[in-house]
Structure formats: C-alpha cells, structure tokens
Structure 1
C-alpha cells in the first residue's frame, strides 16, 4: 500500500507526494504531481502528518471532477437548447415560405444580411477562416437567388444552409468559452445539429448523495431514514436522466404524476427532495451556481387530497379484545411461544413493538415499590418512561427473565441492517394476522391503539393514558410542568385491561 512519502536526494525531511489524475490536471496548473513537506525527518511522525495533506488533495481532486462534470453538462445543455431554437426557426421559416402572404403584410427585413460583412470580418480576425468563407459563399448565392427570384424550394435550401452555418458557429463559440477538446467540439456540433441525442445529466449525482449522507450521519439522523430518502432521490435522478429533463417545479410535478403511489407516500418523496435541495443550496457551491435564482421545486406541489370517507377506509384500525385473543390462540396452536409472549406484553402495556423487543432483564425494576418496565430508548422523548407490570403478566415476565439467553426478554434475531431487533417479530406477527384475514389496516401498532381505546373507555384520564403509552398531550401544563401519573396510578389504570389469553 502506497505511503505517499518520499525524501529528496541529500535531504532527511520527508515529503508527501501524490500523482494528479490526467482528467483534473487543468485545475492544478497542469501539474502531474503534488508534493509538500511534512516538516519532519522522523518517519513515524511523517506518517501521521501526511493524512490531512492527502485528505485535502483528494478533496480538491473530487471538487475539480465535480466542477468539470457540472461544466460539461452546462455546455451540453447550452448546445441542446441552441439546437432546439434553431429547429424552431427552421419550422417558422418553412411555414412562412408556404403561407400565402397578404398585401398588407409587412415586407421581410434584411437587416441581418447587412450585418454579414461585419460578422465575416470578425470571424476572420478571430481565426475562423473556414466559417467566414462559408458565410461569404452563402451571401453570394443568396444575392444571386434574389436577382433570379427565389422559389419556395430554393428559399428553404438557403435557409437550411444558413442555419447549418449558424449551428457550426455556435459550436465554435461554446468550444472557446469552455475550452473544449477536439472530441468535445465534435460532440458540441453533433448536439446542436441533432439536439435530441443529448439528455441532461441529473444534478443529483453520486458524489452529492455521498456528501448529503455524510451530513445526515453527522446530524445523527437514523440510517434507515437516510437510506429511504437516498432511495427516493435516486429514483428522481433516474427519472431526470431517462426523460432528459432538468430539475424544475414542472419536472417534479410530472415525476410525481408518474408515481403510482398514494398522496401520503408522494409527500414523503417531496420531503426527501426538499431536504436535499436545502442542504445543496447551503453546502454545495456548484449547485447554487447551477440553480441560481430558482425556487425550491419541491415546495408548493399540489397533491390529491383524500375525502373523509377515503381517509377512514385507509386509516389503521385498533384490534378488539376478541380479535387479539383469537390471534393469540392461533400463535398458541402453532406452538409459537415468542409470538404469544409478544402479544401478551403488547396487550398489557400498549408498547411499540421495538420497545418490547429492546426490553432486557435489567429493564424490569421497581419504581416506588411497583414492578415496572423501564423504557430507556424510544422514538420520542415522551416514550422514555416506566410502565407498571400488569398482575396478569407477572408470571410471564418472571419466565422470560429466567429463560433469557442473551439478556433480552423476547428472543429474536440480531436485527436487520439498521439494528431494529423487532424486525423478525413484526414479520412473524404479520404472517399470522394476514393468514387470519386481517389486511393492511391492522398491524402490531393496532394492539397499541386497542390499549389506548380500552383505557379511555374505562374512564382513565387522558394525561395518564399518555404517560403509559409515551405520548405528548400537546398541552404545556401536562407536557412541560407535570411530572406525570405515579406508578400506583398507572398500575391502577392498567389493571382495568383484561384478556382471555389461554
């Protein structure tokens, strides 16, 4: 593995040296290699000191490549648009030639023709003799055609010739502006003559997505959220590339229209796009240049709204006690003790499934003399709480503590790639409830909804229910100042729950 450390002849000091890739040497003054002193003759110290130097050089190379990528797409996009403009001019000219003119129609202006001598002179002064000669020959044929009387066919031929020369002139101009190579100049000519061969490169590049991910990780965003948003952004990037479109509000609207998804899901796609846009505008210089003056295209997008009836039909539903008891019996029949225990714990606590999966032997503690589950991590601050152990499940809890082989109360796989331990438990529950005829409206979270419903119907006050299940009330008095219900109050409330789990 290369250390990138060298010593110059006759010197003891160590230097850092790295080759500059050919494609970005222009950004480093044409240099083929970079070299910088570490300021030490101690090789061990030099090994440490080289890291920030190499990191900066690699960052500079990446930035140069990104800038070249953006610039490349800019000149290609410019040629694409110029080619479309020339095609529009050609269509208008043909229409005008074949459309009978009225006596009152103004005579065509020949001001452009009077400017040709000056244009030709400028071209020669700039060294573009070939195009200057083509324009000179064109002018002669045009004058001759005027003297003989231009037919419709001859008029179209002359106009096409002029547009071809203009296209080649545009390619020359773009080549000089961006310093294009011979191969790139030929590509520029091909694009302006046939603009459909070019499809804009998506600005949502792999490099930008990598930087966006790094920032999100730094901000302590969950890996699952980062992956989900990146997946959505890649779908948009593929759409832009495949459709040959730039990132605009209209393009985003068309993309959303192409997605066969609910408005709720589309809203999540818009959130991912908007989050990325805000990051890029703040942290990516080239992105700001590319989209200067453009509003966030993910904002103000209209999504179809569900009617009240449709919302009710799509909303998740709470299980009834009879339904959850029937699912318990099925799990029991299948000898799936873990699923039976999951249902039992959920029905007597109202916990989220991952909260249950994370319970350990040491999570069972006494709070003010009341045996309780201590939830130390949750998706919200309100979720960090203590839940009294219902008298009906004390025996189950004791067994789970005794039988635990890894410290967790519920045996499960090691978790999915995001460390979500409840993944296998959720799938097992899903298979059983689906087999019993329950659809998407019923999930394990429906057990939580059932507990909340039963407690409220048993006349447990709202703030106490919120304390038990880990919800904020939305009322400052309860959420900020109130210490919450006591363990005894919460236990008294939970004891109102009763299920026939046999």
Structure 2
C-alpha cells in the first residue's frame, strides 16, 4: 500500500481514517508533508508518520466501546474487587443497585436491564476479551493482525455481548454490509463480507476455547443471500457489457450438489466432475487421460488445445481413491481407455 501523495514538488504522507472513526478525528484522512522531493527518502519518513497515526487509530478504537457497557464493566470489577477483599455484602453493590433502580424509575428500562445483566448477571461482554483475542491471533504479519483487530471492532459494535449473537442478528449484520447502511457508508463486496465473517468465526473460536460460550455450531455462517446477491450483481454487469449469455462460475457448494446428484444417476459423469473439481482440467482433457501415462500420484495431460496445455498434475489426496480405482479398471471415455 502506498502512503505517499505528491503535491507540487513535495511528497506527503497520507493515511485514510476508517469510516467509523472519522467523526472522532473530525477528518477523513491524516496528511503531513515529508519535506522531501525524493520518493525513496519520502517513503522512509512517511512510514514513521503512518506508524504513529495507526497507534492513534488503535487508541481511538479502544474508546469506541459502548459507554454504558464500559461503565457496567467497571461496576462489575468494583464489586469483584470488594468481594475479593473479604466483604460479604460490599457496599458498592448497593450503590450500583440504586443507580439501576433510578434508571428504571426514569423510564430507562432498557439501559437498566443492560446494566443489571452485565453487573450482576453472567453476561459475557466481548470487549472484555478483545485485547487478549488480538494477541492470540496466529499470524506473523503485523498487517493481518491490524486488519483482524479493526474488523473485530466492527463485530463488537454489532454484537457487544454473547447474547446479542443470534441467527437473526447475524443475518441482519450481513444485510447491513450488503446494503451499505447502519455502520457502513457503502455496500461491501462479497469478498469483504466473507473476510468479516472469517474474523468473527475466529473470535467465536477464541471464546469457545476459553469456555465463554456453549460448544455449539459457530453462528457466523455466511447467509446464502450474500452469494445470491453477488451472482445477481455479476449477471447485471455482464448484461450491461453486452455479454449476458456468458456463464457465471458455480459456487463451491453448488459444485458439490451437482456432483452428489450425478453420483445417483450417472456415476461416470460424477467421476468426471470430481476429477475436474480437484484438477481444474477441461472435460476433453480428462476423457483423454491414458492409463499408461498416469500413476497414483501424477496425472499427465497430453491432449490439450495447445502444447502449452500439456502438463503434469499432482493427484490431490481426496482424488487418490478414485484415481486408484480408474487405474485398476480403466473406463472407456470418448474412445480412449489405453
């Protein structure tokens, strides 16, 4: 990523501020002159500026936690500290109870319940484990860690507590990203949404490992409507370009479904589909594979549109049982079984 922008004869260091923090900083980007006309020298200076700005962004994200949740967590810690000090009925708990009662009396029932659940209940607040989760991310790339931590903040904003993570809420989050509303200024692409779900699953796995959630199926499964919307968008783009008849690639789950259906009605076709899935070969290339030129670990393509297509393909572990069977009992496809 380039952090440089040339203005007149000098280079400026530039870093865009994430959309959810622009209000906090009161601007859309950081910008500062490097005082250099030489791009190499400017780049070295810019990296120092960018490093400092990224620290400011991380600090701002820590402050982005819901104020009520932050206060409730502090209250919970105060009570726990009082109990640990040996007080059977810590006085601080009574003061907090009075505060919650006043919220109810003034018609702020929703806020009161939020405080009560966090302070006196067993509500798991994700922000309490955010920093430890970031440290636990298995990566040697600082850029990946920063990317995960930033997306993690998005997850925390949408799901401040474990109880907020419901199938309905997860679908609403996906819809929000797809439509570009709520916490998002513009619609996100399918790949961007998938990346956010991947990070959310990673966070959930951390909570599972530390027994903070039930050992159930990970709730962060990408809703089907995201893929369907992406297909529709690509089809519309093709139509706009005058290529409406061009075929769109199948989704992985669709290929598996096609293969399963073929397995029930046409085993030979199912074998071809399975081979194609794990080799990327054209059907005519697969039909012309020769037993004498293939082994359990290598498929040799010698019939392709061009000589450039001649190649050796390592056999994927999941293909080995099928390849071994076909080598034992060759199938005559397109007139070739030798």
What TM-score comes out, normalization by structure 1 length?
A: 0.27
More relative contact order, 1 or 2 (CA 8 Å, 6+ apart): 1
